[in-house]
Amino acid sequence: MSTTAFVSVGGRRTRVRIAGDPADPPVLLLHGIGRSLEDWAPQYPRLVQGHRLITLDLPGFGFSARSPEPTTLKVLARGVIDTLDVLGEQRPLHVVGNSLGGAVAQQLLVLDPARVAALVLVNSAGFGAEVALPMRLLAVPVLGRLATRRPTRAGTRMSERLPFADPALATGARVDHALAIARQPDANAVLLETVRELATVRGVKPGWRAELTAAVVQHPRPTLIIWGDRDRVLPARHLDSARRLLPHAETHLLTGIGHMPQIECPDEFATRVLAFLTATERLTGALPRDTATTP
């Protein structure tokens, strides 16, 4: 399977994309809030050699059906675990998460440590209170409902520009795709549930962040943390907090890059991720077959 497809997970439709040799080490790619697996498209040709790549639309995001439960980090992570079970992928994975996906990756480690070989956290939620004003306003009940009731092209274009340091990356095709997602039956409800679970108008709630970090440090894993220094969604100073909370992690701050380095600087991003994965696989012995005997 090298294109998107739908699988049934607990009776609900889940959109996935899989590529690469099934025998190679698996890499799971998790997108951010209100996003979809297309955010990883530039990385497929760059990461697929030597790895089995798995992406999915998280429950209630993209074109996946929502969970019957209210959306929380644990619900999203359990949705990922259930999807992996359906796909027959039981091995420990390198889990790469952007934004909300970074928090889901950490929650996945906490819920099922045996599933996670390493973490790559990309401009990840969970390391600071500051978050973009539009996201905080969604946490206000009346404003959130008004803002999401009828998605418009103009409003979607503004939202699509926010994650990028270069506004030209908010292409017409990306705006069209974001509109299609926003018009899915449960998209707005899930978006608002997620925002209100994790944030208030003042910023990201401290309780879940502290609880998650305390649990993550009980299961140390090789970890790479990447941030763009022009992130307007989760500011780059969160990387300083991440370094304090996870002192064993390798970290990189990318110059002139916003919230989604995997799109904004795909070559540099892939180079850093592949170097980290290779080093991790050498330590664990989980090397791709074609490099397993390389000195």
User: pLDDT tens for residues 156-209?
Assistant: 999 999 999 999 999 999 999 999 999 999 999 999 999 999 999 999 999 999
Q: Where are the domains of the chain?
A: 4-129+206-291
What CATH number is given for 4-129+206-291 in this structure? Answer: 3.40.50.1820
Beta carbons of 261 and 269 less than 8 angstroms apart: yes
- pLDDT at position 175 is 96
Of 143, 124, 123, nearest to 133 (Cα)?
Answer: 143
| The Cα angle at residue 99 between residues 230 and 123, in degrees rounded to 5 | 40
Q: How far apart are CA 198 and CA 206, in angstroms?
A: 9
Per-residue model confidence (pLDDT) at position 289: 40
Q: What is the pLDDT of residue 139?
A: 87
Give me the pLDDT at residue 286, please. 57
Structure tokens at 144: 């959130």
132 contact partners, CB below 8 Å, separation of at least 6: 162, 232, 233, 234
Cβ neighbours of residue 143 closer than 8 Å, sequence gap 6 or more = 137
DSSP class of residue 258 equals -
Phi, psi of 11 (to 5 degrees): 85, 0
CA distances, 258 to each of 4, 41, 122, 197, 227 (Å): 27, 17, 11, 25, 8
Integer CA distances (angstroms), 124 to 47, 129, 153, 291, in order: 20, 12, 27, 30
**What is the Cα–Cα distance from 82 to 145, expressed in whole angstroms?**
30
Task: Note the Cα 105 to chain centre separation in Å.
Answer: 7
Low-confidence ranges of the chain (pLDDT < 70): 1-2, 142, 146-147, 285-295
**pTM of the predicted model as reported, rounded to 2 decimal places:** 0.94
Q: Whole-angstrom Cα distance, residue 230 to residue 163?
A: 9
In the prediction, which pLDDT does 195 show?
95
Determine the straight-line distance between the first and last CA of the chain, rounded to whole angstroms: 32
- The predicted structure's pLDDT at residue 2: 66
Cβ atoms of residues 5 and 16 within 8 Å:
yes
Q: Mean pLDDT in the chain?
A: 93
What's the burial of 58, exposed, middle or buried (CB within 10 Å: 0-12/13-18/19+)?
buried
Give pLDDT, residue 147.
Answer: 67
The 8-class DSSP code of residue 64 comes to S
The pLDDT score that the predictor gives to residue 146 is 66
Contact predicate 234/123, CB 8 Å: yes
| pLDDT of amino acid 134 | 87
**Helices and strands: H and E segment counts in the chain:** 12, 10
Looking at residue 216, what is its pLDDT? 98
